[in-house]
Amino acid sequence: MNTRPPLLFALHGTQEYAARVARHMALELAELEERAFEDGEHKTRALTSVESRNAVVFHALYGDDERSVNDKLCRLLFFCGALKDAGARHVEVVAPYLCYARKERRTQFQDPIITRYVAALFEACRVDRLTTFEVHNLAAFDNAFRIPTRHIESAELFAAHFTQLPGDVDLVAVSPDAGGAKRAESFRRALERHIGRAVGSAYMEKYRSNDIVTGTMLVGDVHERIAIIVDDLISTGGTLLRAGEACRKAGARQVHAAAAHGLFTGGPEILESPVFDQLVITDTVPPFRLPSELVSRRLTVLDSSAMVAAALKSEYG
C-alpha cells in the first residue's frame, strides 16, 4: 500500500488557490515546468519524480485574458497524460470550476452534448478521478463521467456565512429557476441546521430559447422575509437580477444572492444594482472582470479551499 502523501501540482492561474489547499493539508506544491513555443504549442512536465506516486493536479477551467477555456483544458489533459506516462500510480484532477458543464443536454436539433465529450477526453488521457465544486447539473455530471468523480457542494459554505442574518426575521431560500430547486433545497436544509429554525423555500419560473429568457412568476412567499437566492454561477447576472427584482416586488425585506462561481461576463451591472443587499461568491473563479473597488465594496468572496482540502485528506489521509 502506498502511504506517501500525494504530489500536488498546480498549473498556471490556479497556483494561489492550490497553495491554500496545500497549506490545509500541511503539504507544499510540487514543482513543474510550463513552456510555450513560438507557434502556440506548449508542454508541461513535472520536475519531481512521479514514479508510483499519487498525483493531484489543480486547474480551474475558466477563460481569462491570458488563456482560453480550451487552452487551459488542453494543457491540463496533456499534463495528466505526461504524468501517467512517467509512471504516476493515480492521477486526480481538481477543477474548482469545470468548463462546459452547462452544455449537458440537447436544446436544439443536432446540438452537441459537450459535457460528455469533455468526460471522454479525461478518460482518454487516463485521469483516474475528477473532483470539482458545484457543477451546473449534478445528474448530467454523474452520467457523463465513467471515471470516479467527487462533487463538492457549496451549500454548507453558504449556510455558515448566512447565519449572520437577523434572527428575528424569517428566511427563504430561493431558486432562480425550477432546474436549480435541488441546489436551493440543499442550501435550505443546511441553513436550517446552522440556525436551528425553519427556512422557507421559493423558486422562479424561467424559460430559455435561443438565449432569450422569459418567465416572471415567483412561486413561494417572501413577503416581509429575507430572501436568499442561490445559484451555481453568475455569468451575465441576468437570471439573478430577474429573481431579485421579483423578490423585491413580492415584498421581501432583504434580498441576498449567492453563487458558487462568479464569471461576471456581463460586467459590473449586477453589482451596481440596488436590488441586492449582499452578493456572495466563492473563490473558484477570481472576479478579475470587475473593478477592484466595486468588488471590495459590494462582493463577498468565501474561501472554498478548506472544503477541497478536507475532501482530499479523506482520500489520501
Active site residues per annotation: 206
How far apart (Å, rounded) are the C-alpha atoms in residues 272 and 267? 10
CB count in 10 Å sphere of residue 31:
10
CB of 151 closer than 8 Å to CB of 179:
no
What separation, in Å, do the N-terminal and C-terminal C-alpha atoms of the chain show? 13
Q: Which residues of 230-267 are buried (b: 16+ CB within 10 A; e: fewer)?
A: bbbbbbbbebbbbbbebbbebebbbbbbbbbbbbbeee
SS3 36: strand
Closest C-alpha among 207, 208, 258 to residue 233: 258
Strand 7-10 versus strand 54-58 pairing type = parallel
How far apart (Å, rounded) are the C-alpha atoms in residues 53 and 65? 34
CB count in 10 Å sphere of residue 112:
10
How far apart (Å, rounded) are the C-alpha atoms in residues 113 and 100? 9
Residue 65's Cβ-count burial label (10 Å; 0-12, 13-18, 19+) is exposed
CB of 244 closer than 8 Å to CB of 229:
yes
